[in-house]
């Protein structure tokens, strides 16, 4: 996964953030019809007990908390004045190295899911130089393609943004030494973090932003909510956490409730938000995926 270190959301001087993730798949248990009904009842009741309030279809407190944790700051370095960074144009993606047919398929699938969630921007591939350059190369060669690479990470993303906090470039490294299932995870995590979601979290094991080693190859419902919130037209680069949260709290989600009955994510108290900054004409930050 990508983390908010080299992903740091630096301000004056942006730092790279790195992330890694490879965790065991979640355990699925079977429930008889009667337990399922009980689960549905308990889940609905949990909405109130967890403090999830607001009009039907609005973002929950848990989703707003998670957005604030993931979209602001970075895991390593940076300035204490964390602001939001995102693309405002349609980023082109150029693939380099030796990707497998499955890598191409996974990339296409993740791009399609992101495009369906963002509404405002659209990822697209190109045969020429891209705004997002993805390299499928041996891990030992990572420093050749990104000098800011932090050793020990099997996936890495490095972002550049301008003085208006708009992301202008991204470089993603994916280790070709990994198994296909692990590459599928790294592709999804690093491309998602290249949107400007540079921080990791220890809250939701099924989340693509989960900090400890993870093997998630799909978005959790709360991930989809975070990606959608980042790209709402009401949310702009440079916004502070409080301003963005206050605006999002008044909005109705575009696609209806993202948490189905029986899938209510537990809410947790918010931890400290990472720092970030940006003062140079162009700021850079990264995010890694560690083994």
Q: What's the mean pLDDT in 188-193? A: 96
Q: How many alpha carbons lie under 13 Å from residue 239 in its C-beta half-sphere?
A: 22
Predicted pLDDT of residue 57:
78
Least confident span in 26-40, 73-87, 124-138, 188-202: 26-40
Q: What's the mean pLDDT in 121-143? A: 96
Q: Where are the domains of the chain?
A: 17-265+275-290
Give 249's pLDDT tier (boundaries 50, 70, 90): very high
Give 253's pLDDT tier (boundaries 50, 70, 90): confident
CATH topology of domain 17-265+275-290: Collagenase (Catalytic Domain) (3.40.390)
């Amino acid at each position: 996964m990508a983390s908010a270190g080299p992903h740091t959301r630096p301000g004056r001087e942006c730092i790279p953030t790195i992330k890694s993730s490879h965790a065991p798949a979640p355990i699925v248990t079977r429930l008889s019809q009667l337990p399922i009904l009980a689960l549905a009842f308990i889940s609905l009741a949990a909405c109130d007990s967890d403090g999830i309030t607001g009009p039907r279809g609005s973002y929950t407190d848990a989703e707003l908390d998670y957005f604030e944790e993931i979209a602001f700051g970075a895991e390593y370095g940076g300035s204490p004045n964390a602001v939001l960074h995102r693309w405002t144009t349609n980023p082109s993606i150029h693939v380099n190295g030796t990707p497998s047919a499955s890598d191409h398929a996974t990339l296409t699938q993740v791009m399609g899911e992101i495009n369906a969630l963002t509404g405002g921007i659209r990822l697209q591939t190109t045969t020429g130089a891209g705004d997002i350059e993805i390299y499928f190369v041996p891990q030992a060669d990572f420093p050749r393609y990104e000098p800011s690479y932090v050793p020990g990470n099997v996936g890495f993303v490095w972002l550049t943004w301008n003085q208006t906090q708009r992301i202008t470039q991204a470089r993603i490294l994916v280790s070709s030494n990994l198994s296909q299932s692990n590459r599928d995870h790294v592709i999804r995590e690093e491309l998602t973090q290249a949107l400007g979601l540079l921080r990791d979290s220890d809250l939701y094991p099924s989340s693509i932003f989960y900090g400890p080693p993870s093997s998630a190859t799909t978005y959790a419902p709360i991930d989809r909510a975070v990606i959608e919130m980042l790209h709402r037209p009401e949310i702009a680069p440079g916004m502070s956490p409080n301003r963005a949260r206050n605006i999002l709290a008044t909005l109705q989600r575009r696609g209806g409730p993202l948490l189905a009955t029986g899938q209510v994510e537990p809410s947790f108290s918010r931890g400290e938000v990472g720092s970030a900054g940006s003062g140079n004409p162009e700021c850079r930050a990264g995010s890694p995926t560690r083994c």
